[in-house]
Amino acid sequence: MDLSKRVQLFLCISVLVLLIPLKADAMHIMEGFLPPMWCLVWGLLTLPFVVIGLKSIKRIIAENPRLKILLAMAGAFAFVLSALKLPSVTGSCSHPTGVGFGAILFGPTVMSVLGLIVLLFQSLLLAHGGLTTLGANTFSMAVVGPLVAYGVFVLVRKMRGSQSMAIFLGAALGDLLTYMTTSVQLALAFPAEIGGFAASMAKFMGIFAVTQIPLAVSEGILTVLIFNAIAAYGKDELKLLKFFPEGGMNHVK
């Protein structure tokens, strides 16, 4: 099917015009987007992490009951943070995920539970994400993201990298890996007609990478700014946080 140059140009421009205003903010997979099988698969994969998270929260609370209220406040904080607009490098606005911040401060296991709660509230109160896709979204945002962010943070600290570097890399990579996981989830559920999973993966990665790399960098910078400000102004108040896992707030000077 041969199209004239003019029609081709028109198609190109209309596709561009369609895509440009779409900022992939709040990259949660929406309600009803995944086939039932993948909803179940991601739900089951997420379950053990949530169970471990609940157990570790129980242990933390048994040690210091005051922290239950603090954890709930942290969950609300993450929700409010996700409802804010983030100035991005490209000038557009999008949502900070707060994944890296929470993971570095509270550790990845606690974050899986808090993330689940925040995602559920986002779907019910803000119409971001959904109930059937809760498993998949929790897996990318509250399991993979925090694990990567925390892992990178600890690793960079072990290699004697600076505090800010560790926070920046942790938050940025945690953010990026979250979106990569989302792309994998979408590609697995919708393999391309021509080329299968790999082609579909390339398509989703291509589209989301363009929008997400600047966002990940912004998230990293912002997380560093937040940590610096907290360390400067709130050091005395945050003594309680030493109950959280090694590598958390107690390392911030």
Q: List binders of another protein among 191-210 (CB under 8 A).
A: 192-195, 199-200, 203-204, 207
Which residues between 125 and 154 bind another protein (CB under 8 A)?
125-128, 130-132
Q: Judged by CB under 8 A, which stretch of 110-118, 147-155, 158-166, 167-175 contacts another protein?
A: 110-118
CB of 238 to another protein, least distance (A): 6
d(CA 212, CA 249): 27
C-beta of 84 vs 162, nearer to another protein: 84
d(CA 191, CA 30): 18
108-121 vs 66-83: helix crossing angle, rounded to 10: 50
d(CA 168, CA 102): 13
Which residues between 65 and 104 bind another protein (CB under 8 A)?
65-66, 68-77, 79-81, 83-84, 86-87, 89, 91, 96, 101
Helix (H) or strand (E) holding 87: strand 86-87
Please report, for residues 49, 50, 97, 215, the alpha-carbon distance to residue 44 in angstroms, rounded to integers and kept in the order given.
10, 10, 23, 29
Q: Judged by CB under 8 A, which stretch of 116-124, 139-147, 155-163, 172-180 contacts another protein?
A: 116-124
# residues contacting another protein (CB under 8 A): 91
- Which pair of structure tokens corresponds to residue 228? 């610096």
d(CA 154, CA 189): 33
CB of 182 to another protein, least distance (A): 10
d(CA 128, CA 4): 41
**Amino acid identity, residue 173?**
L
d(CA 209, CA 19): 14
C-beta of 39 vs 147, nearer to another protein: 39
C-beta of 113 vs 173, nearer to another protein: 113
Which residues between 151 and 170 bind another protein (CB under 8 A)?
none
14 binds another protein (CB under 8 A): no
CB of 212 to another protein, least distance (A): 12
Neighbours of 122 (CB within 10 A): 23
CB of 211 to another protein, least distance (A): 9
Which residues between 18 and 37 bind another protein (CB under 8 A)?
18-19, 22-33, 35-36
C-beta of 155 vs 192, nearer to another protein: 192
Spacing of C-alpha 234 from chain mean position? 25
CB of 152 to another protein, least distance (A): 20
Handedness of CA 43, 45, 46, 51 (dihedral sign): positive
**Amino acid identity, residue 131?**
L
CB of 96 to another protein, least distance (A): 8
CB of 31 to another protein, least distance (A): 5
